[in-house]
Amino acid sequence: MTDELLIYGSYGYTGALVAQTAVDEGMTPVLAGRTAEKVERQATDLGLDHRVFSLQHPEVIERTLADFEAVLNCAGPFSQTADPLSSACLRAGTDYLDITGEIDVLEQLAERDRDAEEADVTLLPAVGFDVVPTDCLAGYLATELPSATSLTLAIDGMGTFSPGTAKSIVEGLTRPGAVRQDGEIRTVPAAWKRRLLDFGQGPKSAVTIPWGDVSSAYYTTGIENIETYATVPEFAADVMAKTEPLAPIFGSKPVQRLLKAIIDATVSGPTAEERAQSSARVWGEVEDDDGNRFAARMRTPDTYDLTAQTAVEAARRVVSGEVEPGYQTPASAFGPEFALEFDGVEREDVSEFSDVGVSVES
């Protein structure tokens, strides 16, 4: 192999942040994507080499990736890009990373654990905000209560979206909700449960969402019952529950194409100033069969800025050979303290329990 890291989808909103952060950290990744004009312009601006290829021809992908130690996939929706890139990585002997938070993608990659071990390839998805802070919090909670049989995670502060994130949400309209019960992922209605959770600024209403930790936290902790929540206004929870019958319509190809075209025309992602003023909060709790509980919460900088930092550092460590082959989660690869290594990320234990957190099914 002649090069270390390839960033695919480098000219998208998040990919551009990742590429710039890599350069700022002294790395010289090769940039890649399917649109020649965009990747050439970006590579020229950053003084980097580049490759241009689509994901339509497996032999082209494999031949290209064989020249690299690792590929960091920043091209969403990952339901369309993770499989061709990770499959090529297994054939080429190239390590694979991405920044997905999509449950189905994470499950598909986890199923390739043995193949990855045999190929001496690391499969390390979800190295962005989806799901580094939550995965590390899950790992910490499980360490503090090893007997835990249930895990709840929640996020507050997802107020801005890039085009790629918005498109992933649109694709997610076909699967309203998901939880893990007794080790198996179960599809549930949208806003299936609501809880009042304290992220450090008083109780806020949160509803179940199909967050990537329904998949990743299971492999990190071994806990078989997992629910994930996000804060939403009360009216939004009602709308989510009432529009569930429309899921088949939202999932149709014409509607998906229309919604994604609207995103392309209207969503550009938050500005640097907006990111500087943005922050997110994470809350988590574990409980065992005897009723013992342990809870903690985290505060992070803007989700996109943190994604760029965690993705670049994860890629650096993979390229350096610090991660074992096979399927990994951020916390299994780097430990539960990984998220705390980045500026602005703080964690605190929650020492008092109250009625805040009682769940009610919709």
For position 235, what pLDDT does the model report?
A: 42
Count the neighbouring beta carbons within 10 Å of the beta carbon of residue 291: 6
**Token pair for residue 253?**
């190809």
Measure the CA–CA gap between 295 and 286, rounded to whole angstroms: 6
314 shares its domain with 279:
no
For position 274, what pLDDT does the model report?
A: 84
Please count the CA atoms within 13 angstroms of the CA of 110 that sit on its side-chain side.
19
> Tens of pLDDT along the chain (362 residues)?
346 999 999 999 999 999 999 999 999 999 999 999 999 999 999 999 999 999 999 999 999 999 999 999 999 989 999 999 999 999 999 999 999 999 999 999 999 999 999 999 999 999 999 899 999 999 999 999 999 999 999 999 755 555 555 444 444 555 679 999 999 999 999 889 999 999 998 999 998 999 999 999 999 999 999 999 998 755 444 445 545 554 554 455 664 465 446 555 555 577 888 878 889 999 999 999 999 999 999 999 999 999 999 999 999 999 999 999 999 999 999 999 999 999 999 999 997 654 454 455 54
269 shares its domain with 311:
no
For residue 29, the 8-state DSSP code is P
86 shares its domain with 116:
yes
Q: Based on the number of CB atoms within 10 Å of its own CB, is 328 exposed (0-12), middle (13-18) or buried (19 or more)?
A: buried
210 shares its domain with 174:
yes
Overall domain count for the chain: 2
CATH number (domain holding residue 47)? 3.40.50.720
**Token pair for residue 26?**
């002294």
CATH number (domain holding residue 356)? 3.30.360.10
| Number of DSSP helices (H) and strands (E) in the chain, helices first | 15, 17
**Token pair for residue 287?**
């409980």
Count the neighbouring beta carbons within 10 Å of the beta carbon of residue 150: 17
Torsion angles phi and psi, residue 301, rounded to 5: -70, -175
193 shares its domain with 277:
yes
85 shares its domain with 157:
no
Please count the CA atoms within 13 angstroms of the CA of 195 that sit on its side-chain side.
24
pLDDT (tens digit, 9 = 90+) per residue, 245-300?
A: 545 544 556 644 654 465 555 555 778 888 788 899 999 999 999 999 999 999 99
Tell whether pTM > 0.75.
yes
pLDDT (tens digit, 9 = 90+) per residue, 215-250?
A: 999 999 999 999 999 987 554 444 455 455 545 544
Please count the CA atoms within 13 angstroms of the CA of 26 that sit on its side-chain side.
1
Measure the CA–CA gap between 258 and 214, rounded to whole angstroms: 29
Residue 81: domain span:
3-128+305-334
34 shares its domain with 165:
no
